[in-house]
Structure 1
Amino acid sequence: MSAPDLLMPKPMFAQTVEALEQVFTVHKLWLAEDTKAMLADLADHVRFIAAGGHSHVDEAMIAGLPKLEIIANFGVGYDSVDAAAAARHGVIVTNTPEVLNEDVADLAMALLLATIREVPQADSFVRQGRWLAQDYPLTRATLRGRTLGIVGLGRIGKAIARRAEAFGLTIAYCGRRRQADVSYAYHADMRALAEAVDTLMIIVPGGAETRHLVDAEVLKALGPEGVLINVARGSVVDEDALVAALREGTILAAGLDVFADEPRVPPALLALDNVVLLPHVGSATVHTRRAMGQLVVDNLVSWRDGRGPLTPVAETPWPRIKA
């Protein structure tokens, strides 16, 4: 009996591909000379999709695969998969929560520290030989006395909060709802949170629901000593508004691991010296990528064997600025 057919739209972590090939017949869409022809040929066979972070699984693809039962997404964020369309077609979507919490939280704090203390700028200062002529200027910002507003106090948000508390930061948050078991100050919308803090940490899902959740009004509320850190999705922040806020001193600085049109970073951001830029590496360690890949495999195998999905996704609306 042949292994069941699985579609892989884009390349994935090599060990994940190897593991999937042991239990499925893997069809690599990105290698096809004619992707439409491959999808048509597979229409009556594919029951499984393994979707990497750069895959786009839209309603047209889902509708064109009438035997499709499950889409296993590599990553906790699944905005590249049309989960609403999948639900309409009776298709399960899974993601990879928990296994990346600690590495992403570590990176988030590293990016916060690098932004506040200008670590990349100081590194460049040394490499350029400028230290021979003068000391590096004192940084305007410090973590001392700051209040961190976490936008999205989920699994990763809580892991960030634990680390932030160890640095002496006061914590507040905005999320889908107030959490009964959390003692941090809760704010029901983004503007209220931004007004109450001087540092925003973004760790929410991407997609239409959270698009431009952080806009010019939120940045203005954050204020001239404000620091924005985004380790979520680039779409959550209005990039044009952010560039203007950084140029005009509306906020002090930003640290970004994600961008609206990755891997393309706006030249306007590249030209600024009060922003730290990373190439979307929040979960990018071998340890964590292995664990994420194994959870993709485990979800698909569990479904194949009739045990159901291990980590199905669920969606709830996000609060925006109230009128």
Structure 2
Amino acid sequence: MLRPVETQSREIKKLDGLWSFCTDADDCGIAQQWWRQPLPQSRAIAVPGSYNDQFADAEIRNYVGNVWYQLNVRIPKGWEHQRIVLRFDAVTHYGKVWVNDHAVMEHQGGYTPFEADISHLAAAGESIRITVCVNNELSWQTIPPGVVTRDETGKRQQSYFHDFFNYAGIHRSVMLYTTPKTFVQDITVTTEVANDLSRATLSWRVEANGEVRVELRDAGQHIVAYGEGAKGELQIAAPRLWQPGEGYLYELRVIAQHQDERDDYPLRVGIRSVAVKGEQFLINHKPFYFTGFGRHEDADLRGKGFDNVLMVHDHALMSWIGANS
């Protein structure tokens, strides 16, 4: 799955902001088909962000079960004849999504993205209703693992076996993005570096529904190698290698074309080798010693909701203390 990017052939509409939100303490939302109507007794909530600490309400902070999010959004008029995709970067721990009255996707796992093609439900210039049912119940398969029990009143409670709070909700960005009907669907890249570091090989494999061309560009956008076809290899002489502290990145531009329709996808790639030899970890055939942290994305109010300010600040602190990973 490729990360959405804006190019001459692709556009993005972020849906971050205030959504409608409600809990489902009676567990009746599915039976009553809440996705077909405005959510009952809803309140505004910020997305992305954990729902636990956004309200002055202990019942919501410690809530166990289904919660619901909803947003009405207008499809840009200029998106006619485009493929339209709805994407969630992270929903913890389980999410099921409806567009208008139609279920379009569901996903288990709170730390990976998921998406669906909704072109057949999203007409350019028209409004759609997006509804999400999110469940935070723990099991031995969730992170953190845990168990759900009920007290004497039937209220759900959960116990977990880890060192962080079970924040839940829509934790990363939500967006709509477009591609042409001819498009790049997936790209796999591997690299090998010669022992003397004088040359490198980049292997590619592309999933696309058109003829494929690839161009490897340096940081100055100069083409250093190119090829054609859904898979192949590029040879790079005197490569500038990616390494810790100097993360040089090339751009592998993948072009899919069918007749007059074309999609461009720029993938940033670092050329490096990684290996384990005995008790040593080797990067570009040289031993590397890791000094770093197991970092939790937990913060006041936001919970596990992604925040660029906190990310920059945390990395500045890690650099200050001498971490390299």
TM-score (norm 2): 0.24
TM-score (norm 1): 0.24
Higher radius of gyration, 1 or 2: 2
Larger helix share, 1 or 2: 1
Larger strand share, 1 or 2: 2
